[in-house]
Amino acid sequence: MKKLILFLVAAVLVVMTLPVAAHDEVTYAEWGTPKIDAVKEDVWNDAQSIVVADEAYGDASTLGQQSTAVVYSLWDGEFVYFYAIVTDPTVDAVIRDDAWNQDAVGFMVDFGYVREPEVSFRDLGDDSYAGYVNVPAVDGDANYPEEPTVFGVAGYAEKVSSYCRVTATGYEIEIAIPLLYKNYVPGDKIGYEIFLNNAIGEGDRYGFSVWNNQGDGAGGNSWQYSYNMGTLIFNPKLEPVVEEAPAPAEEAAPVAEAAPAAAPAAAAAAPQTSDFGIIAVVASVVSLAGCAVSKKRR
């Protein structure tokens, strides 16, 4: 009995010391540099995306008011870029005192990729390299970097640029966030989460959805604990494939034209029958003359 009790106590202690399950979702940022204007140009065509539809707080879904988003990612060594296409039945397109307290997308990043459970980046001060930028669902370039975060570092917030465009089905946001923490190389990772804040036209946030809050993903706690963010991995730049033009075919040497065949030699003209007759007569005369001369000499 004592052994059983000791075993159970040990098991409880082990469970208590295990870290809370981390957000295990992973996506990749392809190489590319877009124009920040909330117009999805061709550079986004090869970008990978995540779906944000996991309602972590509120019950807008029961009212038919849940917002969802598809978010694409790119990077170019200087910035990481996101493009969010939000579907929202009711767009609360009004700037409020708290950007998160309305329809807005919170782009959350942890440039240091700190995976320590229950360590709040908000308590790290200048040592914090995580935070997020809220972009409200209002036409224009308004954005609100949260503090205390890395975005409070001098020059950081000023380099963030974004643009929002309200559409017939919701709104679209394009944003560039500077990579100032270090010189990133392909294969590097950062923490990444999306907070899709949702208002339903009542002047206040009704709830929010995240990339992953199920199965202990706890993405809903990413606003404070970067451990609960997913992972974004930087892919290498793909060099354009240069198709080599086929080598020109060697020109065949011109074939010498065959010399015209020599005309057949003209056949000797066959003697005419009349010619033979004349010859015979002359021969006879000569012969007779010879005979006459011979007789006289005798």
Whole-number Å distance between alpha carbons of 60 and 205: 10
Mean pLDDT confidence for 154-159: 82
* Number of helical (H) and strand (E) elements in the chain, helices listed first: 3, 13
Per DSSP, the three-state class of 94 is: coil
Does residue 139 register a pLDDT over 70? yes
Tell me the CATH number of domain 21-234, given options 1.20.1250.20, 1.10.8.60, 1.10.443.10, 2.60.40.1190.
2.60.40.1190
Q: Give the pLDDT score at 14.
A: 37
Strand, coil or helix: 296 = helix
Each residue's pLDDT tens digit, 45-62? 999 999 999 888 888 888
The pLDDT of residue 244 is 76
Distance CA 185, CA 157 (A): 23
Pairing of strands 26-31, 230-234: parallel
Cα angle 135, 44, 233; round to 5: 80
On the question of pLDDT at 219 being above 50, the answer is yes
Structure tokens at 100: 């998160």
Angstrom distances, CA of residue 153 to CA of 81, 125, 146, 148, 176: 19, 10, 11, 9, 16
Q: Residue 187 half-sphere exposure, CB side, CA atoms within 13 Å?
A: 0
Q: Is the pLDDT of residue 148 over 50?
A: yes
19-40 pLDDT, tens digit per residue, is 444 568 999 999 999 999 999 9
> What letter would DSSP give residue 40?
-
pLDDT of residue 28: 98
Mean pLDDT of 268-292: 43
Burial class of 48 by CB neighbour count within 10 A (0 to 12, 13 to 18, 19+):
middle
Specify the range with the lowest mean pLDDT, choosing from 36-45, 128-137, 161-170, 266-275: 266-275
Is 247's pLDDT higher than 60? yes
Q: Which of 163, 197, 162, 196 is nearest to 178 (CA)?
A: 162
Q: Which residues are within 8 A (CB) of 25 and not within 5 positions of it... i.e. 6 or more apart?
A: 50, 211, 212, 217, 219, 230, 231
Domain ranges of the chain: 21-234
How large is the average pLDDT for residues 120-148?
87
pLDDT band at 271 (very low <50, low <70, confident <90, very high): very low
